Chains A and B, each alone.
Chain A
Amino acid sequence: MDDTRRSFLKFAGISALGLGGISTLTSLMPGPATATKGASAPLYKDTNKALTAKRWGMVIDTRKLTPSLCEKMIDACHKAHNVPNHDNERHTIKWLWEDDFEHVFPMKHDEYLADRLDNLPILALCNQCNNPPCVQVCPTKATFQREDGIVMMDFHRCIGCRFCMAACPYGSRSFNFRDPRPAIEKENPDFPTRMKGVVEKCNFCAERLAEGKMPACVEVSEGALVFGDLEDPSSEIRKVLRENYAIRRKQNLGTNPSVYYII
């Protein structure tokens, strides 16, 4: 080996060590967000089409929700992401689903709840918390937070310990208790299918945002869902939040959800 090559390798090795050291240090700092933020240099090619934000958020206008609309949005989501439909209830996988007000907001249930809410299906999904407990507890960083706030899963790194499912206060995570592939009605080749033994959940359609498309559920929502940058004061989502009183699920836990509900 000639000298330049050797010194290059030496340099590369030392740099790698240094970088490793930095990432270890940042991961020791408080707050799970700091563990992944900042260190990620873009490894992909920028197509310029991608929709970007400082912190993606969603507003669900429950006044516009109807059972058929909810079904349409759930269907769009589950088809886009190859979410299987298992017969056994224990093995259920769901990214986006509907439930009663008293279950989506268990602490806000009221005996004298407005009639409208009593029979209304409310959408539930991953809250893409800005302070996500699931990221904090994951022992392999298989679940991580991107700079734009989206909490993502690396299906290839997940060991299936399900710590994130215990940590999530919203029941937003599902585990592949069996091979999901036979239970997928029609496979969408644009999104990976999963294997048994890993956890999955809503990803705010990160794969669609990268192509300049809005999330699948938002696209078919007929205006019931508003999606945008929570940190951009001129964004539509901020306008909607300025003009309407909106609540978030279990806000008292400090997870800082990015999904708002107009009641």
Chain B
Amino acid sequence: MLESAFKGSKGYWVWLLALLAVIGVGFGFYLRQLTFGLGITGMSRDVSWGFYIAQFTFLVGVAASAVMLVIPYYLHDYKKFGRITVLGEFLAVSSVIMCLLFIIADLGQPMRLFNVLIHPTPSSMLFWDMVVLNGYLFLNIVIGWNVLDAERNSVPPPQWVKPLIYISIPWAISIHTVTAFLYCGLPGRGFWLTAILAPRFLASAFAAGPAFLIILAFIVRGFAKYDAGRDQIQTMAKIVTYGAIANVFFFLCEVFVAIYSQIPEHTAHLQYLFFGLHGHGVLVPWMWTSIFLMLAAITLLVIPAARQNEVVLGIACIAIFVGIWIDKGLGMISGGFIPNPLHHVREYVPTIPEIAITIAVYATGFLILTILYKVVVGVKQEVGE
């Protein structure tokens, strides 16, 4: 099947080369990080996790959201999703690969990575995150590839794939739950110390992931002349709507508990993010932009006539994706570190090398995604869908 990835239009090759160029630049910066150390980033003693870990957290959500296609198709026999389920699974594959790359980019001693396997430590949530992420990657590659191969040969997928598909459903939930557990089990970090963090992560994932998939469906329709289908896109739009509303609801629950209880350890972080603290507030405009984008998008999505207009839907999906990216990719991690445990406000801003490395990891993900989608579209066109 992979052969169709080697046959493409001029635009396809230019896109791949452009991605490779971006990866090359980022890799150059990464070599600099390897020799100098993580000091080339904006991270500090006080904000010890930054952009890399935030992107990792966000992308775990995008990866987990594939389950929003798998559940309707395989559990509810919603046949129409047959056209796109594999797109969701391959989005999960490229997202998990980006997650793993971000973890490696964040390590101070990446060559010691395998110490996690040599000295397995079940008390560490990072150990379990490694287990569930790699397992999820494996599941989605095997499932996606075999189902697609069967489709190409016009035969039903092999029987042994079925149990893997069922396992992949709770497994998808587990990757974002364990990722939330990295943060919400830490005693001194009031911002994260909330039982609703995992549900909130999942809600935002089930909004941002399918929203991104809708955008991808429009792109694939435009460039590769493969239509995911109007009904399919509309069903995904409803999933996005529910996810986005649940996300805002969970967020408001957090705000209520913090503000009404008025416990300083919990309110200080929200105050920093949304109003600034002790004269520091680089994230304030970003956080309000995120709130505005989420609310505006929800308003558009709940109105049927607006949602059914694909231009409006596209805009709403971009707004959801960007809004949640700001929330998780900018505010969630550094917000938990500011103020620090001694209640000093030391801010964090990513540096140019850090951003370049981040963009390169995204480019790697898009490279893998492009190749996988090329294969999918090749098969779909071959069987005349």
Contact = CB atoms under 8 A, between A and B. Distances in A.
B121 A27 contact: yes
A213 interface: no
Contacts, number: 158
Q: Is the contact region of chain B dominated by helix, strand, or loop, or is it mixed? A: loop
Given A90-B39, A141-B119, A171-B46, A102 B186 contact: no
B109 interface: yes
A139 interface: yes
B188 A250 contact: yes
Given A133-B186, A159-B116, A168-B341, A88 B39 contact: yes
B186 A167 contact: yes
Interface of A: 24, 27-28, 32, 35, 88-94, 99, 102-104, 106-107, 124, 133, 136-142, 157-163, 165-171, 174-179, 195-199, 250, 253-255
Given A35-B123, A166-B186, 8 more contacts: A27-B123, A88-B39, A102-B343, A103-B342, A139-B115, A157-B119, A198-B108, A250-B188
27 contacts: A27-B122, A35-B121, A90-B39, A91-B39, A106-B264, A106-B342, A137-B125, A139-B121, A139-B126, A140-B119, A158-B108, A159-B115, A161-B103, A161-B108, A163-B182, A165-B45, A166-B183, A168-B188, A169-B188, A169-B189, A169-B341, A170-B342, A171-B45, A175-B45, A195-B109, A250-B188, A253-B188
A197 B37 contact: yes
A146 B56 CA distance: 33
B42 interface: yes
Given A103-B342, A107-B265, A171-B342, A166 B189 contact: yes
B127 A139 contact: yes
B107 A106 contact: no
Contacts of A27: 121-123
Nearest to B112: A159
Nearest to B38: A177
B113 interface: yes
Contacts of B336: 166
Contacts of B44: 89-92, 177
Given A91-B39, A138-B124, A197 B108 contact: yes
Contact of B124 (A136, A165, A178): A136
B124 A166 contact: no
Contacts of B341: 106, 168-171
B188 A170 contact: yes
B186 A157 contact: no
B124 to A, nearest CB: 4
Q: Closest 10 CB pairs between A and B?
A: A160-B108, A169-B188, A197-B108, A177-B39, A196-B37, A90-B44, A178-B39, A139-B126, A165-B48, A139-B124
A168 B120 CA distance: 21
A181 to B, nearest CB: 12
B340 interface: yes
Contacts of A28: 122
Interface centre among A28, A90, A253 (most CB of B within 10 A): A90
B106 interface: yes
B39 A137 contact: no
B223 interface: no
B107 A90 contact: no
Interface string B27-57: 0000000001111011111101100000000
Contacts of A35: 121, 123
B21 to A, nearest CB: 28
A159 to B, nearest CB: 4
Contacts of B188: 133, 167-170, 250, 253
B126 A161 contact: yes
B344 interface: yes
A142 B182 contact: no
Nearest to A29: B123
Contacts of B115: 139-140, 142, 157, 159
